[in-house]
Amino acid sequence: MRAVFSAWLTSGILAVMALLALKALAPAAGEGGPVDEYAQVLRVHLPWLLSCVLMAVAAGSYVRDRVTGFGRALAALPAPVLGALAAAFIGVPWSGTPVGLTLHLIEAVLGVILGLALSTALSRREETGGAHTREHGQWRRDRR
């Protein structure tokens, strides 16, 4: 249980830093003016997605030996989901609308899936001794 709390704390700290960055990076939401979709994607949605991946990798690294599958998702999911809700609450532009909040929640879930996959791949690579190929170093021996 201590590992889960550590995972939540670490991903929570990363969520706070991501929200502060989003607040600073987000373009102003113009009332009635044209919407700059590229600025919205590059300055709001992409940083949030990458932050969610980083939160999931951090949380997944704490619980990779203790729980598997659904338990890892439960350890990694709260911070991104609560962060998406907090983004709407603190007034990050484009996240206070129902569509923006839905996009942030989808990005949070997608980021957790990608982050846990990356964390699993990194842990498997560590278990195999850091081999660079599927044959666990066979390529190096054949190359000589």
For the segment 31-55, what is each residue's pLDDT rounded down to a tens digit? 555 667 777 788 888 999 999 999 9
Whose structure tokens read 């560590």?
126
Residue 28 belongs to some domain of the structure: no
62 within some domain? yes
pTM score, two decimals? 0.79
| Residue 29 belongs to a domain | no
Amino acid code (one letter) for 23: K
Integer Cα distance of 65 and 8 in angstroms: 16
Task: Look at residue 131 and tell me if it is in a domain.
Answer: yes
Q: Compare 125 and 87 and report the one with higher pLDDT.
A: 87
pLDDT digits (tens, 9 = 90+) for 102-124: 998 999 999 999 999 998 888 77
Token pair recorded at residue 79? 């911070």
> Which residues neighbour 114 within 8 Å (Cβ) at sequence distance 6 or greater?
53, 56
Domain that holds residue 61: 1-21+38-142
**Identity of the amino acid at 40:** Q
Q: Tell me what the mean pLDDT of segment 57-85 comes to.
A: 85
With a pLDDT cut of 90, the percent of the chain lying above it is: 30
